Amino acid sequence: MQTIKFSKNWNGKMACDIFTTIRIHNQNKYKEGEIYNYEVHLRKDCEAAGVVKCIHISTFNLVDIPDPIFYMDCGLNKEDSIKMMEKMYSNYNINIHSQKWDVIVLKHYFK
């Protein structure tokens, strides 16, 4: 089982049964129906963890992600979300504006 790491519980979204994450497109890592561990790392420590199931993936160019997705995912409008992502991914050797992005819908998974 793979792990999805978060640097922050953006918009408090992980308190919901279903939440989103916006990630660089990776069809080998993120797959509908897969079960993942997730961890929220604030500072160096793991502050929260759980298990989620991927229930949907949509792929977009960053600018084409609908405004409501940014509000729900990041708690920011599109413009501020993109600025935040530019900072977050500044050390990656990619152009975030031409890069494909996955909007991944996750559901807390309880056996």
47-71 tens-digit pLDDT:
667 888 999 999 999 999 999 999 9
User: What CATH number corresponds to the domain at position 33?
Assistant: 2.30.130.30
- 66-105 residue pLDDT tens: 999 999 999 999 999 999 999 999 998 999 999 999 999 9
- Give the structural domain span for 90: 3-108
Give which of 29, 32, 31 is closest to 55, Cα–Cα.
32
Distance CA 13, CA 6 (A): 11
Distance CA 68, CA 65 (A): 9
Provide the whole-model pTM. 0.89
N-to-C CA span, the chain: 15
How many domains does the structure of the chain reveal?
A: 1
Return the closest-CA partner of residue 53 out of 77, 37, 66. 37
